[in-house]
A and B are shown apart, each in its own frame.
Chain A
């Protein structure tokens, strides 16, 4: 069974530029998560989708970050304009669903973003 796919794996941009990340979850997984992991810390949730609807985006900096999952499968996360403090690894995860055993989450390899 294929795991969570993410691209690109690495991205270097200058501040104030825009960037987009793509994620394809495990087949059949209804729930998709985007996390931000700053060096030396654990991942922190940015946004959570159930199918194509947003479940929780309370920690997403909406003035510069946006995300969509239009067809309920793959998802894109965009940053516009990027700031230096956005340098981090962006991780996508998926789970079968919400609650109980359905919420076991599986992570992709991540996209390492460097903002200069």
Chain B
């Protein structure tokens, strides 16, 4: 099946700093989503981005499908940004519509 690798696994930031999270995937995809899992376990949709660039406030994401990677940018980080960020992809060749998740990047923003 498709492999999804996220980096870095852990990240500690001072409040106000910027960061870039990376997601590499091993095959072509139909769907790519970024999620934020907050400390209470809720998975919150950030972006649906199988290709191209999107922005939402302090967050933006870029997926380069031909090179099989996606980036999530967080600017001016806040303590509420803490949690785990997951990248999840739908394998276009698998015939199934399931999302395969990476292991996540755990972000801690300190005041």
Contacts and interface: CB of A to CB of B under 8 A. Distances in A.
Interface of A: 31, 33, 40-45, 48, 55-56, 58, 89, 91, 98-101, 103-107, 109-110, 112
Contact of B99 (A41, A45, A98, A99): A45
B35 A107 contact: yes
20 contacts: A42-B86, A42-B88, A42-B101, A42-B102, A43-B86, A56-B96, A91-B43, A99-B30, A100-B31, A103-B90, A104-B45, A104-B48, A105-B88, A105-B99, A107-B35, A107-B43, A109-B40, A109-B41, A110-B42, A112-B41
A103 B101 contact: no
A48 B43 contact: no
Interface string B70-111: 000000000000000010101000001111011110000000
Nearest to A100: B30
B33 interface: yes
State the 6 A-B residue pairs at the shortest beta-carbon distance, nearest first.
A42-B101, A107-B43, A45-B98, A104-B48, A98-B97, A56-B96
Given A104-B45, A104-B48, A109-B42, A43 B31 contact: no
B92 to A, nearest CB: 10
A44 B101 CA distance: 7
B103 A41 contact: yes
Interface in B1-60: 4, 30-31, 33, 35, 40-43, 45, 48
B43 A103 contact: no
